[in-house]
Structures are given as structure tokens and as C-alpha cells.
Amino acid sequence: MKVFKGILSWIIPIVVGLLIAELLRMFVLTVAKVDGPSMEPNLINNERLLVFRHSKVKHLSVIVFDAHGVDPSATQPNTDYVKRVIGLPGDTVSSNDGNIYVNGKAINQKFISQKERTTGTGNWDLKSLSKSWSKNTGAVKVPKGEYFVLGDHRSVSNDGRYWGFVPKKKVVGVAKTLFFWQTDKTKRNNVNNLGY
């Protein structure tokens, strides 16, 4: 009996710890991994992120979302994408010579270089983009309960320009880079502190 109590004395804390960790992962935060170059220079391939499930999504927040059912090429459930929120519900979004306009005002894009802004971004508005989307054809504003997202490395990013909006229900959470050994202060700021 003494041996059994001894075994339980270390098994119970482990089980409780695992249960708490799983509840935190399901309801508070989780870890995600960047896959590919679409968020360079701020996030690099295989970089790990903490994803806060209940953080408020703002303009320029970096989010993680399940792209299955959003991007037609994401054929498997739980295919997570990491992108930057440009348009919130009700916003108009357009691009001209590398400048992104939200509701007619140019946004500050100091988180990427001038070359990254102009190479691959293109000239467009939501209405012109939406002509090739399978959903929301003819959209001029971001619909209620959805977001418009872009990758920071515009010339290689598969993002909202090609498939449309991200429904709020698909968002896993707001990403933060807290692993200081993977990045530098400027890049952390460009991911963690730009939301407005």
C-alpha cells in the first residue's frame, strides 16, 4: 500500500500538470510554426510563435488561421497560415505603387523595405481582386466577421489577394514572437507591437 501511495504521489501531479497544459493550449495559447518565406523579413521559415487565442485582432496584427476552406490549395484541415491583417470588417483596401490604403489612408509599412513594398504587391482594390475569387465576387469592402490579410514578403506570399477573406471563425489567434534567440528586437516589434 505504501508503494502504491508513493507512485500516486508523483503520478497525480504529472496528470494534473498535463491537464492544465492541455486546457491552456485549447483555450488560452498555443504554439505555431512559420512554414515558408511569405512573412520574411520579420518571420522566417520554421520560426516558432506563441499564438494567443483571445487577443483582439487589429490592423497589422499577425494572425494564425486555418486556411482549409479559405485558400482552395489548402486541401487538408488544420493547414495553418501566418499572415498580417490589413483590413478589418467594413474596411476598403487598395494598393498603388506599393502603398497600401485602408479606407483611403496610406498605412505605415515600415515593417518591410521599399523594395518589398513595391515588388509583387501590385496595383489593385478589393473589387478588382475579387473578380478571380470563388467567394465574395464583386466585394468592395471586407465583409462582417472577416479579415483581409497579406504576407510581408509580397512577391512570394499566397494571401488574400488570390483567394479572398479570412472568416473570424477560422482564426486560431494573434501571433507573438517571444523566442528572443530566434529573432532581433526590430523584428519582434514588427510582429508584436504594430496592431492599431
Please indicate whether residue 95 is annotated as part of the active site. Answer: no
Distance CA 161, CA 125 (A): 9
The upper half-sphere exposure of residue 127, i.e. CA atoms within 13 Å in the direction of its Cβ, equals: 2
Catalytic site includes residue 187: no
Write down the catalytic residue from 5, 33, 83, 128.
83
**Strand, helix or coil at 50?**
strand
Q: Which of 2, 5, 9, 38 is an active site residue?
A: 38
Tell me the CA distances in angstroms from 25 to 53, 87, 172, 173, one per residue in order.
Answer: 9, 28, 11, 11
Q: How far is CA 115 from CA 92, 118, 154, in A?
A: 24, 5, 10
What sign has the CA pseudo-torsion 189, 191, 194, 195?
A: negative
Given strand 29-33, what is the order of strands in its sheet? 29-33, 48-52, 171-176, 62-66, 80-87, 146-150, 166-167
Q: Which amino acid is at 34?
A: V
**Hey, which residues are catalytic here?**
38, 83
